[in-house]
Chain A
């Protein structure tokens, strides 16, 4: 599984950072920073889905391989 994060759509709701801090950090202005490049460790897949499904701006997409 991979994560696609769209910085232009992100408005800094920080749902991803709250639900999946292993995958998302936030910058000084509160916008998300995707921490993982490439394949998501399998134990974090459910958290990745949770982040994607709770982002009000549809800025996160998970891509299953």
Chain B
């Protein structure tokens, strides 16, 4: 919860606030209503921001780097000061042409074949967590915190060769950055992600290995080592972008299965449906909404966007647009034609998409094998994150042991 309560929203079309708890609880309904009534919503909050909800508008913005800059991708009350085209967390905050350079350093580490090598780590993690849940003997377990949240942390910590025990720290950093952007201040520099990474990178420089952090320290652009801000920004991005997102996708998938016994049965009895089910989870519960800063005046859906305005890039809204998907508002577990954009569109396509898909698949396979049947202990006890990454943060399940 934000430290300062957000003022109530008067009207979602003219005063939206995606950091308000009402949005966290009701985002899909709010987005559907806006698409029908006011497909490019606006708010004066955050110094002025737009919210397009049609697939075509979202796709157009994602692919237009002339009018929209990635210099700011998380909406705050102020505008980022780090200069384009690198930004504070390359490549996600970078614009062309620098973007492609920063992105290429990462691609090989996250290709489908490279990610195959991490499947064992993910599976062992899931099995350990499930064993702990079983050993606890508890009938009611918060599966968001006892299971879903740990899986992405372990893999990224191993990829960067950082201690797995630091996972709790990562989650505190991430929570501040994603869920309470600009709403609380950290007085103690020693408690920030930047400080943490500065120390770890300095240590690593003295002791290079073949992990991803060492690779970035050793990398160069035309013979020049990467700037410290670049290395730090990219590693911060990998920690921030990979954890809450995957936690959210997995949590929403389990939340769905808890309430749909027929889908649980289908998953178990018909394994061929699983790859399609995973894509449908990603479409229907797309956890990530991005943002852009307007770099040049432009009109979207008849609305005049001005330099310095924010616009949200709502992949969750695009994914439920009936103009882009048949029966868009229905969860179809074996949907065959599913061009969803949960991982974005265009040049910023999620670098972690192969990793996230693997983690989602392994975590669901292991969970469903251990607990083919489960239900929400109390639907009203489920809480959802606020801000641009949406997923269940507390989710007590009743488990048959």
Contact = CB atoms under 8 A, between A and B. Distances in A.
Interface of A: 11-15, 17-19, 26-30, 50, 53-58
Contacts of B85: none
B366 to A, nearest CB: 20
B343 interface: yes
B57 to A, nearest CB: 16
A13 B351 CA distance: 9
Q: How large is the interface on B (under 10, 10 to 19, 20 to 34, 35 or more residues)?
A: 20 to 34
Given A11-B349, A56-B340, A29 B108 contact: yes
6 contacts: A11-B347, A11-B349, A18-B275, A56-B339, A57-B345, A57-B349
Given A53-B336, A53-B339, A56-B340, A13 B349 contact: yes
Given A14-B354, A30-B110, A53 B337 contact: yes
- 8 A-B pairs closest in CB distance: A29-B107, A30-B111, A11-B349, A53-B337, A56-B339, A28-B108, A14-B112, A56-B341
Nearest to B275: A18
Contacts of B341: 56
Contacts of A58: 339
Contact of B107 (A12, A53, A57): A12
Interface in B175-214: none
B104 interface: yes
B39 to A, nearest CB: 21
B112 A26 contact: yes
The secondary-structure label for the interface of chain B is: helix
A56 B349 CA distance: 10
Nearest to B346: A11
Nearest to A53: B337
B353 interface: yes
B14 interface: no
A57 to B, nearest CB: 7
A28 to B, nearest CB: 5
B337 A12 contact: no
Contacts, number: 54
A12 B349 contact: yes
Nearest to B113: A26
Interface of B: 104, 107-108, 110-113, 275, 279, 336-341, 343, 345-347, 349, 353-354, 357
A54 B283 CA distance: 12
Contact of B353 (A13, A26, A28, A57): A13
A19 to B, nearest CB: 8
Contacts of B111: 12, 26-30
A19 B347 CA distance: 22
Contacts of B340: 56
Contact of A17 (B112, B343, B349): B112
Given A11-B346, A30-B354, A55 B112 contact: no
Contacts of A56: 339-341, 343, 345
B104 A13 contact: no
B233 to A, nearest CB: 21
A62 to B, nearest CB: 13
A14 B353 contact: yes
Given A17-B112, A19-B275, A50-B337, 9 more contacts: A11-B347, A13-B343, A14-B353, A15-B279, A18-B357, A28-B107, A28-B108, A54-B279, A56-B343
A28 B343 CA distance: 20
B112 A30 contact: yes
Nearest to B110: A30
A13 to B, nearest CB: 6
Contacts of B349: 11-13, 57
A56 to B, nearest CB: 5
A19 B111 CA distance: 16
A12 B345 CA distance: 10
Contacts of B104: 29
A25 to B, nearest CB: 9
Contacts of A29: 104, 107-108, 111
A43 to B, nearest CB: 17
Nearest to B348: A11
A50 B279 CA distance: 13
A23 B250 CA distance: 30
B74 to A, nearest CB: 22
Contacts of A50: 336-337
